[in-house]
């Protein structure tokens, strides 16, 4: 299956690149670079000869459409920056969010740390973030810690152990309300998952592996559709002109639920689901 790969590159010494990053670039059909001239130095070092396209902050939205079209046509697309990782301070978040919207697979390669990997995959990169680590174990210290984070405008990133996940999510809801989030687990492994989620009062998730939680910050605009019943949420997207199948996918993603759950709501509407 074709995908868009967000690939980390050396910040200086060209030897500071992972084997997987080199393999990914070698296998790509198209490589998008912040500055093609600078990227050629790295690519030539490893004998990588691929079509290049300039992708930078001045053409990001236009170029993202070209890359998405290539991925939808079955091409493997890689995105790199001059040094380091796209989507942290460099461009790329527009592409990641659009790809997630269209159901195109995103893979992060060479992030080095779970928190950066999850931030990029969540589509909330491109600016600052606050890394909170593991929540304090219990009691007043835990509540005070979360209260102190309520006004933070940047995305909040937490780690959560499997046996703590549901308790952590419940306490995060108590502190922040029904904010949108992403739950990431098994990063870089076979069963990697970065799933949309909305904090709620009674989480009941089957925890499998260590989790990274990326929670929207106080400065992000809440989605007013989340206040509606799911069926009305779906109808709003259809009324806005989305094809039913796209409206189902978007509603499921925004609510953090399985697509089949929303699809059942579309059936009584007697609309074309294609």
Structure tokens at 262: 């929303």
In this structure, the chain runs to a length of 274
Phi, psi of 82 (to 5 degrees): -60, -35
Beta bridge mates, 53: 32
Spell out the residues 6+ positions from residue 164 whose beta carbon is closer than 8 angstroms to its own: 134, 135
C-alpha to C-alpha distance for 145 and 247, rounded to whole angstroms: 38
Written as one string, the DSSP assignment of 59-75 is THHHHHHHHHHHHHTT-
Beta bridge mates, 105: 3
Name the fold adopted by 3-110.
Answer: Cobalt-precorrin-4 Transmethylase; domain 1 (3.40.1010)
Given a contact cutoff of 8 angstroms between Cβ atoms, the answer to whether 109 and 35 are in contact is no
Instruction: Show me where the domains of the chain are located.
Output: 3-110, 130-215, 224-269
For residue 221, the model assigns a pLDDT of 58
**3-state SS, residue 209:** coil
Given a contact cutoff of 8 angstroms between Cβ atoms, the answer to whether 8 and 111 are in contact is yes
Phi, psi of 9 (to 5 degrees): -125, 165
Q: pLDDT tens, position by position, for the chain (274 residues)? A: 589 999 999 999 999 999 999 999 999 999 999 999 999 999 999 999 999 999 999 999 999 999 999 999 999 999 999 999 999 989 999 999 999 888 899 999 999 899 999 999 999 988 889 999 999 987 788 999 999 999 999 999 999 999 999 999 999 999 998 888 999 999 999 899 999 898 988 898 888 889 999 999 987 656 778 778 888 898 888 888 788 888 888 888 777 777 888 888 888 775 544 4
Q: Supply the CATH classification number for the domain 130-215.
A: 3.30.950.10
C-alpha to C-alpha distance for 58 and 69, rounded to whole angstroms: 19
Given a contact cutoff of 8 angstroms between Cβ atoms, the answer to whether 211 and 240 are in contact is no
The mean pLDDT of the chain is 90
Structure tokens at 244: 């039913």
C-alpha to C-alpha distance for 87 and 96, rounded to whole angstroms: 8
**Which 8-state DSSP code applies to residue 206?**
-
C-alpha to C-alpha distance for 206 and 118, rounded to whole angstroms: 19
Q: What's the pTM value of the predicted model, to 2 decimals? A: 0.78
Look at residues 102, 112, 40, 110 and name the one whose alpha carbon lies nearest to residue 70: 102
pLDDT digit string, tens, across residues 83-97: 999 999 899 999 999
C-alpha to C-alpha distance for 187 and 193, rounded to whole angstroms: 7
Strands 52-54 vs 30-33: parallel, antiparallel or unpaired: parallel
**3-state SS, residue 162:** helix
């Amino acid at each position: 299956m074709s995908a868009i790969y967000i690939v980390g590159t050396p910040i200086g010494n060209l030897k500071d690149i992972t084997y997987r990053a080199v393999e990914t670039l070698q296998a790509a059909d198209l490589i998008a670079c912040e500055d093609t001239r600078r990227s050629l130095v790295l690519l030539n070092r490893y004998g990588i000869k691929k079509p290049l396209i300039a992708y930078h902050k001045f053409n990001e939205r236009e170029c993202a459409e070209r890359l998405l079209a290539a991925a939808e046509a079955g091409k493997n697309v890689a995105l790199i920056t001059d040094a380091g990782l796209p989507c942290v301070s460099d461009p790329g978040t527009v592409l990641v969010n659009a790809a997630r919207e269209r159901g195109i697979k995103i893979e992060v390669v060479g992030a080095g740390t779970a928190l950066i990997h999850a931030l990029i995959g969540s589509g909330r990169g491109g600016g600052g973030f606050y890394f909170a680590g593991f929540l304090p174990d219990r009691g007043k210290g835990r509540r005070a810690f979360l209260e102190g984070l309520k006004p933070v405008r940047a995305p909040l990133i937490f780690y959560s152990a499997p046996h703590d996940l549901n308790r952590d999510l419940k306490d995060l809801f108590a502190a922040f309300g029904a904010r949108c989030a992403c739950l990431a687990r098994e990063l870089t492994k076979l069963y990697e998952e970065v799933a949309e989620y909305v904090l709620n009062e009674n989480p009941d998730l089957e925890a499998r592996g260590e989790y990274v939680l990326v929670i929207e910050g106080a400065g992000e605009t809440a989605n007013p559709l989340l206040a509606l019943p799911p069926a009305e949420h779906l109808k709003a997207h259809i009324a806005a002109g989305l094809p039913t199948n796209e409206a189902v996918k978007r509603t499921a993603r925004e609510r953090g639920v399985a697509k089949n759950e929303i699809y059942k709501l579309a059936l009584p509407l007697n609309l074309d689901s294609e």
